Structure 1
Amino acid sequence: MEARIQNSWTCRKGVGWSLDEHNSKLVTSAMKSKVEQIRKDIIAGNIKVHDYMSNNKCPVQ
């Protein structure tokens, strides 16, 4: 498998997470709802996601 960077565009609703057979039993309905709300807020522009590659810095220290 080749390592790569995948850039998803929020304007095209390219925001998601991996929920599969390996972790689905660990995620509650409340967790799913919270993640879905965060996804909607990112797409709407209410939450800004920092692109580390833009300046090689994390805004949270």
Structure 2
Amino acid sequence: MAGRSIKRRQAVSTRPTRAGHLAPWQALETATSLAAKTYGLSNDLGTLTPGHLADLIIVAGD
């Protein structure tokens, strides 16, 4: 039964948002790791990894 709950949550969280926009995880990936790979900077940027550069902005809400 627990496996069903996990699969359902994954299905819900990967579904694109309304009007064809990206799912939240897709938007985050596009702005971070995919952008770093595109510019050849994935050795320094794009993930929260020890030794990588990072700027974080934390907000309340979406």
Q: Return the TM-score normalized by structure 1.
A: 0.38
**Which structure: larger Rg?**
2
**Structure with the greater relative contact order (CA < 8 A, sep ≥ 6): 1 or 2?**
1
The structure with more helix, counted as a fraction of residues: 2
Q: Return the TM-score normalized by structure 2.
A: 0.38
